[in-house]
Amino acid sequence: MRRAPHAQLLAAAALSCLAVACSHVRSVYVADPSVSPGEHEVKRIAVAAWAPADHPALESVLEAVAGDYLKLRKNYLVQEAPAASLGRQGWQTLCQGKVEGVLFVRALRAQLKGHAPAEADLSLSGELYRCHDGALMYRSEGSLLRRDDDKSLRQMRAHYAEALGEAQGSYVPCAFSLLQELLRPMPDPRLTEAELEEKIELGAGTRVGAPSELVATLP
Amino acid sequence: MRHAATLSRLLIVGSALSPSLALGAPQPTPPPSGMAAVASATSAPAKALGAKAKKVVGTLVNAIRYDKRPVGEAQLGWATMAEHLLGPAYAQMGSAERSQFVEDFRVLLVGTAFPKGHDLFAYLDGVLYGSVREQNGRVTLPSTIVVHRNYKKTEMKVDWVLATEGDGLKVVDVVSMNDSTCDGVRDEEVAPLLKEGGVAKLLGVLHERAQATRKGAPK
Compute φ and ψ for B204, nearest 5 degrees.
Answer: -65, -50
Q: Which residues of A touch B71 (CB under 8 A)?
A: 197, 200
Q: Which residues of A touch B (CB under 8 A)?
A: 22, 68-69, 72-73, 152-156, 159-160, 162, 176-177, 180, 196-197, 199-219
Q: CB–CB of A61/A172 below 8 Å?
A: yes
% of chain A residues with pLDDT over 70:
75
Give chain A's radius of gyration (CA, Å): 19
Reply yes or no on whether the pLDDT at A172 is more than 50.
yes
Q: What is the pLDDT of residues B1-16, one digit of tens each?
A: 333 333 344 444 333 3
Residue A6 CB-density burial (10 A; 0-12 exposed, 13-18 middle, 19+ buried) = exposed
Residues facing residue A25 across a β-bridge: A142
CA-wise closest residue to A26 among A109, A120, A132, A135:
A109
- The pLDDT assigned to A81 comes to 65
Give how far A36 is from chain B: nearest CA, Å.
Answer: 25
Please give the single-letter amino acid code of residue A182. Answer: L
B48–A contact, CB cutoff 8 A: no
Task: Report the residue of chain B nearest A22, measured CA to CA.
Answer: B151
* Out of A52-56, A57-61, A148-152, B136-140, least confident range: A148-152
pLDDT at A102: 94
Q: How far is B184 from chain A (nearest CA, A)?
A: 19
Mean pLDDT score across all residues of chain A:
81
| Chain A residue at shortest CA distance from B62 | A200
- pLDDT at res. A92: 87
The answer to whether the CB atoms of A210 and B129 lie below 8 A apart is no
CB–CB of B155 and A22 under 8 A? no
CA angle B190, B193, B199 (to 5 degrees): 90
What pLDDT score does A84 carry? 52
> Would you call B155 and A212 a contact, using CB atoms and an 8 Å cutoff?
yes
pLDDT score, position A20: 42
Judge: A208–B129 Cβ closer than 8 Å, yes or no: yes
pLDDT value, residue A35: 62
Nearest to A152 among B65, B123, B152 (CB): B152
Indicate which of B155, B174, B178, B179 best probes the interface with A, i.e. most A CBs within 10 Å of its own CB: B155
- Rounded-to-integer distance, Cα B108 and Cα A48, Å: 43
Q: Do A200 and B57 touch (CB under 8 A)?
A: no
Rounded distance, CA A68 to CA A65, Å? 5
Does the pLDDT of residue A33 top 90, yes or no? no
Q: Indicate the pLDDT class of residue A59, thresholds 50, 70 and 90.
A: very high
Across the range A128-151, mean pLDDT stands at: 92
User: Looking at chain B, which residue has its C-alpha nearest residue A201?
Assistant: B59
> Where residue A36 falls among pLDDT bands split at 50, 70, 90?
low
Q: How far is A71 from chain B (nearest CA, A)?
A: 10
Q: Is B66's CB within 8 Å of A196's CB?
A: yes
Question: Which carries the bigger pLDDT value, residue B121 or residue A161?
Answer: A161
pLDDT category at A208 given cuts 50, 70, 90 is very low
> Given B58, B131, B151, which is nearest A205 (Cβ)?
B58
Judging contacts by C-beta atoms under 8 Å, the chain B residues touching residue A23 are none
Range with lowest mean pLDDT among A12-21, A73-82, B199-208 = A12-21
User: Min CA distance, A199 vs chain B (Å)?
Assistant: 8
Whether residue A203 and residue B58 make contact (CB cut-off 8 A), yes or no, is yes
The per-residue pLDDT for A7 is 55
Gap from B80 CA to chain A (nearest CA, Å)? 23
> Which B residues in the span 4-43 are in contact with A, Cβ-Cβ below 8 Å?
4-5, 7, 23, 26-31, 41
Tens place of pLDDT per residue across chain B (219 aa): 333 333 344 444 333 333 332 222 233 333 333 334 444 455 777 788 888 999 999 999 999 989 999 999 999 999 999 999 999 999 999 999 999 999 999 999 999 889 988 888 888 889 999 889 999 889 999 999 998 877 788 898 999 999 999 889 999 999 998 899 999 999 999 999 999 999 999 999 999 999 999 887 544
Of the segments A1-5, A46-50, A199-203, which one has the largest average pLDDT value? A46-50
With beta carbons under 8 A apart, name residues in chain B contacting A211: 31, 130-131, 133, 142
Please name the residues between 94 and 153 in chain B that touch chain A, using a CB distance below 8 Å: 121, 123-131, 133, 142-144, 146-147, 149-153
Q: Which amino acid would we find at residue A10?
A: L
Nearest to B89 by CA among B186, B218, B188: B186
Q: What is the pLDDT of residue A194?
A: 93
Interatomic CA distance for residues B210 and B112, integer angstroms: 10
**Peptide bond preceding A117: is omega within 30 degrees of 0, i.e. cis?**
yes
Distance of CA B72 to the CA centre of its chain: 12
pLDDT of residue B162: 97
pLDDT of residue A213: 26
